[in-house]
């Protein structure tokens, strides 16, 4: 046992010893900031996941007619949820790339959420052309009207 005291301890072992002694962690400043940042990031991801699930559970669009304002409001909800923004900050002319600083992954996630929300399939060629909330709303409205006419 005497030889164990002279062995170099790992950072984790020092942390456990300090915790057991009732002291603060040896490198508290080193650990504190990243853990808070990661915690907030995970909380935001969890909230988005829960809100996405709640959106999926809502009444299916096919059951009733929707007007232009309702479609635009639901598209804004999806975009606000995806980018973690307030609804009041989004306008129909809001551009995904210049205003929201969306990258290609964000664009794909928005399109997938819109497809799930409105039970549509949006081809890649069409989704690449949609750069504003108004363009997305117009496309969704056009597809819903076509679906009503066919069905």
138 is catalytic: no
Q: What are the backbone dihedrals phi and psi of residue 91, each rounded to the nearest 5 degrees, phi first?
A: -120, 160
Q: Give dist(CA 124, CA 20) in Å, integer.
A: 56
Cβ burial, residue 133 (10 Å; 0-12/13-18/19+): buried
Which of 4, 103, 149, 150 is catalytic? The answer is 103
- DSSP string covering 100-146: T---HHHHHHHHHHHHHHHT----HHHHHH--BHHHHHHHHHHHHHH
Residues marked as catalytic: 103
């Amino acid at each position: 046992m005497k030889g164990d005291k002279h062995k170099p301890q790992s950072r984790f072992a020092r942390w456990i010893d300090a915790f057991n002694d009732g002291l603060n962690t040896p490198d508290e400043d080193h650990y504190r900031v990243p853990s808070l940042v990661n915690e907030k990031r995970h909380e935001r991801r969890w909230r988005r996941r829960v809100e996405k699930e709640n959106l999926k559970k809502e009444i299916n669009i096919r059951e009733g007619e929707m007007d232009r304002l309702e479609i635009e409001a639901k598209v804004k909800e999806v975009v606000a949820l995806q980018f973690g923004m307030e609804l009041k900050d989004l306008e129909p002319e809001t551009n995904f790339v210049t205003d929201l600083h969306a990258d290609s992954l964000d664009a794909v996630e928005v399109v997938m959420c819109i497809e799930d929300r409105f039970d549509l399939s949006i081809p890649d060629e069409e989704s690449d052309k949609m750069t504003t909330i108004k363009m997305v709303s117009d496309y969704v409205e056009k597809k819903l009207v076509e679906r009503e006419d066919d069905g």
